[in-house]
Structure 1
Amino acid sequence: MKIFSPLYARTMAWSRHRRAPWFLGGLSFAESSFFPIPPDVMLAPMCLANPRRAMWFALLTTLASVAGGVLGYVIGYFAFDAIEPWLRETRYWAAYEQAVAWFDTWGFWAIFVAGFSPIPYKVFTIAGGVASMALAPFVLASLVGRGARFFLVAGLMAWGGERMEAVLHRYVDRLGWATVAVVVVGALIYSL
């Protein structure tokens, strides 16, 4: 059953849309402070669809993400008391507590690691504000960590380019169903 092929084709068409960079910038900004979907889901197909602009997309994603991170910092610094009850009720509370512990131990490096890794960066931006981390090191760590991640994604997608796009299109249904199977097996193991 070919469910994933049409979704893949639609995603590639959207990634070539003239306003796609605006959407990428908005998503990157929002993800760094409050939105749960990482910008990589837009960045990767946009770089595949237009490899010559991949580095521009990575720069746009990095700058918008860091700007959103500063908003997260401001939220943590000025408004944490207002969001704390909500945050306690979400799945992010444990990550927030871990982020605070990391700040106590590593400071600058906590933001760098969160910026590069799949750890929820937004939790660390808010924790950075709560911890009153100095803003200049916060921004520097965010630029380096987020930039390394997004330029790596963009570089790999640009390197693969049209060849990778064609291969993915050919195997996307198999990959999609394999991913579903892994998620189901993981959920079953987790529930046991």
Structure 2
Amino acid sequence: MKNVEFLDWLQNTNQGAFLFVLSFANAIFFPVGPEVVFVPVIMLNHSKLLPYATCCAAGSVMGLAVTYLMSYHCGQVLIDRYIPSKKMETGVRVFNKYGPLALVIASMFPVFPYRILVILSGFLRQRPAMVFSFLSIGKALRFFGYGLLIAKLGESVVRFLN
């Protein structure tokens, strides 16, 4: 019965603000990404793809803006306290190899710790317009790409699950 109530809530409630807040928090500190709500909603109702992907991308970029600004002003403290030296070295190598384009690639995939690259961007005082442009591209590709895949493959996934 609980699953039915959850699905009913997903379908009959406007999830835009919730997805925005979840994406915003995930970009700063929260370990759960918006996909836990975004994927089922889009599977149930493809028409919500554009507004909800926009909410996820915007919330994520705005949360990353907070991370960037914190790093810009308190970078060394954040790095010393929250980023293990091995991950820092990996982030520096990625930046050295790909430059700011690394932000697009990292922000597309939740597996890579993109927050580290954002923290490095702030610490290295990279131009905010460039950083947010690349992050916006990556997040848009991520959420609109997920949404399109789910909208196209969702029916077969639902049939498979049944």
The answer to which of 9-18 and 105-114 deviates more is 9-18
Identity of aligned residues (%): 24
Please tell me the root mean square deviation across aligned C-alpha atoms, in Å.
2.3
In the alignment, what sits opposite 1:26?
21
Instruction: For residue 22 of structure 1, report the CA deviation from its aligned partner.
Output: 1.5
In the alignment, what sits opposite 1:144?
137
In the alignment, what sits opposite 1:101?
93
Higher gyration radius (CA): 1
Q: Give yes or no for the alignment of 1:42 onto 2:37.
A: yes
Q: 1:52 to 1:93 in 2, by over 3 A?
A: farther
SS at 1:16's partner residue? helix
The residue correspondences of 1:48-87 to structure 2 (distance < 5 A) are 48-87=43-82
The residue correspondences of 1:111-130 to structure 2 (distance < 5 A) are 111-118=103-110, 119-130=112-123
Instruction: For residue 10 of structure 1, report the CA deviation from its aligned partner.
Output: 5.4
Q: 1:42 to 1:144 in 2, by over 3 A?
A: same
Q: 1:41 to 1:72 in 2, by over 3 A?
A: same
**How many residue pairs are counted as aligned between the two chains?**
161
Equivalent pair of 1:32/1:66 in contact (CA under 8 Å): yes
Q: 1:78 to 1:17 in 2, by over 3 A?
A: farther
TM-score, normalized by length of structure 2? 0.84
Q: Which consecutive residues of structure 1, in runs of 5 or more, have no partner in the other structure?
A: 1-5, 171-192
Instruction: For residue 136 of structure 1, report the CA deviation from its aligned partner.
Output: 1.1
SS at 1:36's partner residue? coil
Q: Which consecutive residues of structure 2, in runs of 5 or more, have no partner in the other structure?
A: none
